[in-house]
Amino acid sequence: MTKPSQRTHGRRRLAVSLPSGRRTLHFEPKAPAKAQCARCGRELHGVPTSKPKAYARSSRAPGRPYGGVLCPNCLSAEIRSLVRASGSAT
């Protein structure tokens, strides 16, 4: 029996058939959301959907600056704007 505190809508409900033929509800944690770009909100590829603690060594976020935070388009636009801003100041 699930703890009453775990029977919430914050958990995914799974209808499970038991070997005896009865059907019960199992309450499982919801899957983490996919990583999104912090600037445009696009889905990021190459970033695992598990929580960072559970990352396997081979499936970590890209190692470049802002890897796992910004998409490639936004990163190049951000770098360009930074370079242009620093170029005008000097």
User: Contacting Zn ion (CB under 5 A), which of 35, 37, 44, 47?
Assistant: 37
Could you tell me which of 30, 33, 31, 37 has the C-alpha nearest to residue 62? Answer: 37
- 47 contributes a contact to Zn ion by CB under 5 A: no
Minimum CB separation from Zn ion for residue 39, in Å?
A: 5
User: Contacting Zn ion (CB under 5 A), which of 11, 61, 62, 74?
Assistant: 74
- 54 contributes a contact to Zn ion by CB under 5 A: no
Distances (CA, A) of 9 to 13, 17, 49: 8, 21, 21
Minimum CB separation from Zn ion for residue 36, in Å?
A: 8
Residue numbers at the binding site for Zn ion (CB under 5 A): 37, 39-40, 42, 71, 74
